[in-house]
Amino acid sequence: MKENIMPAIRLTLVCLVFFCGIYTLIVLGLAQLTPNKGNGETINLNGKKYYSNIGQKFTEDRYFWSRPSAVDYNAAGAAGSNKGPSNPDYLQTVQQRIDTFLAHNPGVRKADIPSDLVTASGSGLDPHISVQATEIQIKRVAAVRGITESELRQLVEQNVEKPLLGLFGTERINVLQLNLALDHLKRKI
């Protein structure tokens, strides 16, 4: 047993120095090479600062709605709800989200609602929704804003983010960027 204690202590110290010091400095150094120096993707518009890589809450009918958040979009407490799909509280929450969505989007069938509009992501801060989740909201947003649906579809198509390297992930839309583009489009008209 004595012969195992010293190697274990040495390994612990090496890991401590590497992961708490060297690795941290490497990640910090790499972050400094990114456009925002590791401070996240920011958008400055009309004197207001937005983080485009953190989910934002949009619930007004004139905007495309974001994916729900289990932490109310608080980046300091990123987490999922940790409730399983058979949990009664979770099922009630999802049903409330479905009912709210259907009330604001008449003519949409419950079966047509994409799951990302009624379920929170694992972090609770996902800034993206699927293209299908955006398309199902076009009729509502167009009616409220007085924009044609075809014009709005064009704006949505311009904001589609393709999969990484054309292989990894699915097409998605950053809700914040789409809604800012929507506000900008309305000013032009």
Q: What is the pLDDT of residues 60-105, one digit of tens each?
A: 999 999 999 888 877 777 777 778 888 899 899 999 999 999 999 9
The region of weakest confidence among 25-29, 133-137, 183-187 is 183-187
The strand pairing partners of 168, in sequence order, are 164
Q: What is the pLDDT of residues 106-155, one digit of tens each?
A: 889 999 999 999 988 878 788 899 999 999 999 999 999 999 999 999 99
> Counting Cβ atoms within 10 Å, is residue 68 exposed (0-12), middle (13-18) or buried (19+)?
buried
Separation CA 141–CA 133 (nearest Å): 13
Q: Is 40's pLDDT higher than 90?
A: no
Tell me the average pLDDT across 31-53: 78
Separation CA 186–CA 47 (nearest Å): 19
